[in-house]
A = this chain, B = another copy of it.
């Protein structure tokens, strides 16, 4: 029997371990773990608006803005006017931002490897799928939906 609290604590322990290891690995480059997540999200979808960036980071627009201010001071990101919406601003990595991001990927490589080290490839896929389903139940906009979906992703 697994109750919700047990899952919550396991989730917390895993996330905090990852976060702490990442902070340590990125510290030499002067970047926090959360800033890395932001930079990586930017790299995968350049010229995002701040709102879209916040959504992809599971974060808050005003939080993202605070982070962007810090990253802009460090010269890693730049903000420009949006081409069609004069209210919005687009965010993109600078050349130095791209360079630092490459170093961050390298610095975090062993962490990701160690996290996956205790899992077979199919198990890692299953873990991602289950995490996604657990998260879906927690997001506000998520309609309750069918109570238990024995969906095809269960292949593992």
- Interface majority SS on A: helix, strand, loop or mixed? helix
- Nearest B residue to A9, CB-CB: B37
Q: Is the CB of A18 within 8 A of B125?
A: no
Q: Is the CB of A127 within 8 A of B128?
A: no
Q: How many copies does the complex hold?
A: 2
Give the complex CA separation of A37 and B113 in angstroms.
Answer: 29
Per-residue 0/1 for A111-126: is the Cβ within 8 Å of any B Cβ (1 yes, 0 no)?
Answer: 1111111111101111
- Nearest B residue to A8, CB-CB: B18
Q: Is the CB of A130 within 8 A of B133?
A: no
A interface residues, Cβ below 8 angstroms from B: 1-18, 21, 37, 40, 58-59, 111-121, 123-128, 130-140, 144-145, 147-150, 154
